Amino acid sequence: MIWEQFEAAAPELAAVGRSQFEQSGVALIGTLRKDGSPRISCVEPCILDGVLYLLQDPRLVLHNTVCTSTGDEVEFSLRARATEIRDPGV
């Protein structure tokens, strides 16, 4: 995901998302297995030079971690399509 484009389109929402990802360093990613069944996994999202990096199936949902049941934490979710980056310099 080109995070810079997201920031330009929705700066306040992007700031909340970045803050949530940086706060815990972990996010939940939802993808589909080859048989079509869903799964959720923990990942470490990385926003580098305005790009959000993950290595997964291109269809995904990314959600910050929620650590309590009190209802006072921010929930942040992104639905996107990933593009594989094969540049070793990145």
What's the rounded Cα separation, in Å, for the pair 80 and 54?
Answer: 11
Residue 72's SS3 state is: coil
pLDDT, residue 57, reads 59
What's the pLDDT score for residue 1? Answer: 77
The tokens for 63 are 């959600």
**According to the model, what pLDDT value does residue 89 have?**
84
Question: Tokens in use for 20?
Answer: 């949530």
Question: pLDDT (tens digit, 9 = 90+) per residue, 12-66?
Answer: 999 998 998 888 888 888 888 889 888 888 888 888 899 888 755 567 778 887 8
Please give the pLDDT value at position 32: 83
- Domains of the chain: residue spans and CATH: 3-81 (2.30.110.10)
For residue 86, pLDDT beyond 70: yes
- Which residue, 84, 83, 67, is CA-closest to 75? 67
